[in-house]
A = this chain, B = another copy of it.
Amino acid sequence: MRSEKGHNESVTIKRVAERAGVSAATAARAMGKYGSVSEKTRQRVLDAAHALSYVPNAIAKSMRVQRTRTIGVIIGDIQAPFFSKLAFAIEDFANRQGYNVLVCNTNEKPERELRHLQSLFERRVDGIILSSTQRFNSEMSQDIRRLYESEIPLVTVDRQVNGLKRPLVQCNNLGGSYQAGKYLLGLGHRNIGVIASNQFVNSTREREAGFRMALAEYGLTLRPGMIRYCEESFITEAGRQITKELLDDNPDTTALYLLNNPLYRSAWLELKARGARIPEDISLLGWGDVELAEAWDITAVTQPIQKIGLRAAETLFDMIDNRTRHEDDVAVFDTAIVYRSSCAKPRTG
């Protein structure tokens, strides 16, 4: 009773049809969900397909129906917890819709983003979710602008692309940072050092602005020298060096506010190295509730990543399925502060 092997060398719908004694058209109808076929022939076709181990060719199908059931996700680095959670949420949703996901890491390099974008266009993906690496103020190249503004459904996430009329899903960087600032100020801190990596992306800019708003409410401004940017963001040592410089130059600093989550390790190591106790000697507050923050019991601003990913996917699929545009949609999700033990009143009342 063994099914004949029918060497898998390309078993097409035509072969299935042949075996079932019908035309290719009928075979297609039997397996697809359109047109009408008699129950008898449907069964014959299905049997033939099974006997031949028929695997429909999605490429040919895409060719014909002009639809790939594939989306692309362009992110900085899948290893970063933020992006891996985001990608997971998106992939999960897409799967439910019968879609597959091409994951593209840019490593924060604009030229890689361009290459990936180009590639996704060539592959005719049905939609793209993009966390752009474009710098907030630099002129976009003609090439990339052309791709961004093409007809293909595209949702930007986490980082806004200046002047681009496409939906955006992000968290409330401004408000969240304002809230964080108020919290530290409310505890009595007046000399708060700020450290940022990834200086040029919009989200970082917004967080800085939010913090300045909080300061302004207390009649303060962010003294130059009290905010430092670390370009080589992913290298722990660079961030640590920046932290060291800030603290050395400003010995009166009573709190440290980290604008990006790769900085936890940098700051922690430097503080430990100089024997600073947290929060007795210095308070520490970071952006992003990653594992390290929990492990070290650091108070952190947390973002609802799952929701962000879900919303981005929902929006994208609405654009795909219903040909909607959502041109100026901006979905902003609130952040929250996870209070832990790393923040207290400053040493000198």
Contacts and interface: CB of A to CB of B under 8 A. Distances in A.
Contact of A85 (B68, B79, B151): B79
Interface string A114-132: 0000111111100000000
A78 B91 contact: yes
Contacts of A8: 150-151
A64 to B, nearest CB: 10
Contacts of A234: none
B100 A119 contact: yes
Interface in A43-75: 53, 55-60, 62-63, 68, 70
Interface in A1-21: 8
A120 to B, nearest CB: 8
Number of copies: 2
Interface size class of A (residues with CB under 8 A): 35 or more
A153 B306 CA distance: 34
A57 B124 contact: yes
A238 to B, nearest CB: 18
A59 B62 contact: yes
Contacts of A233: none
Contact of A295 (B81, B120, B146, B292): B292
Contacts of A58: 119, 122-124
A302 interface: no
A191 B101 CA distance: 47
24 contacts: A8-B150, A55-B122, A56-B122, A57-B124, A59-B68, A59-B124, A63-B63, A70-B102, A78-B78, A78-B84, A78-B91, A79-B81, A79-B84, A79-B88, A84-B84, A91-B104, A100-B102, A100-B104, A100-B119, A100-B120, A101-B102, A291-B291, A291-B295, A295-B295
Given A58-B119, A63-B63, A70-B102, 18 more contacts: A55-B121, A57-B122, A58-B122, A58-B123, A58-B124, A59-B62, A59-B63, A77-B88, A78-B78, A78-B91, A78-B103, A87-B103, A95-B105, A100-B119, A100-B123, A102-B102, A292-B295, A295-B295
Nearest 9 CB-CB pairs, A to B? A295-B295, A58-B122, A103-B103, A84-B84, A58-B123, A79-B88, A59-B62, A100-B102, A55-B121
